[in-house]
Amino acid sequence: MWKIKIWTKLLLALLVTIVAVEALVDRARDNGDIYIVSHYTFDGDIDDISTTTPKPADPDYIDFDEITHICNASFITPISNVLTFNSTGSLPDDNDTTSMCYFRCFFEKSGLMDNFKLNAELVRKYVWPATGDSIEYCESQGKETETNGCIRGFAIVKCVMLRALTDARNKPTV
């Protein structure tokens, strides 16, 4: 008899968890294929739902590792492409739309970009201290001409990366 009770409880707990997970997934889907989960880190592991994750002290905290994981799950991109892009602002293959989608996803999910608009505050905090018209200039990339969201998003990310790399190189040497 007690066994049945325990099993009933377990089953109930599992059902509640599944319903919760499905609700979260549905909510995410409602926002389209690229949705922001910057402050939410569900990695598909049901066990994580029931435990409370400690809130990071920094309200702008972004779990970049988690975002890498999520974006790479949808748009598998070799780490070498990420490293190449990070150091040159270019991809090994100019027409690699999967990697473009990956970088767009990375910027969108981290909150650095929302619907092709850069979050100037977060970009300055995490990427580089954008000055002048950099933000507006990068946002305008592909605006009139590009209908593919990944290519347009990547053009903006690439612009940000190139400016960040250039500014870093231009640091005055005293």
Give contact residues for ligand NAG (rule: CB under 6 A). Answer: 68, 72, 76-79, 82-83, 86, 93-95
- Min separation Cβ 85 and ligand NAG, Å: 9
Shorter beta-carbon distance to ligand NAG: residue 8 or 86: 86
Q: What one-character-per-residue DSSP string does 89-116 give?
A: SS-SSTT-HHHHHHHHHHHHHTTSEETT
The type of residue at 25 is V
Q: Least distance in Å: CB of 8 to ligand NAG?
A: 39
DSSP secondary-structure letter at 1?
-
> Are the CB atoms for 115 and 36 separated by under 8 Å?
no
* Block residue for tokens 């319903």: 19
42 or 89: whose CB is closer to ligand NAG? 89
CB closer to ligand NAG, 10 vs 76: 76
Q: Which residue type, as a one-letter code, is found at position 30?
A: D
Contact 107, 115 (CB under 8 A): no
Taking the complex as a whole, the smallest distance from the CB of residue 124 to ligand NAG amounts, in Å, to 15
The least CB distance from residue 86 to ligand NAG, in Å, is 4
93 or 136, CB closer to ligand NAG? 93
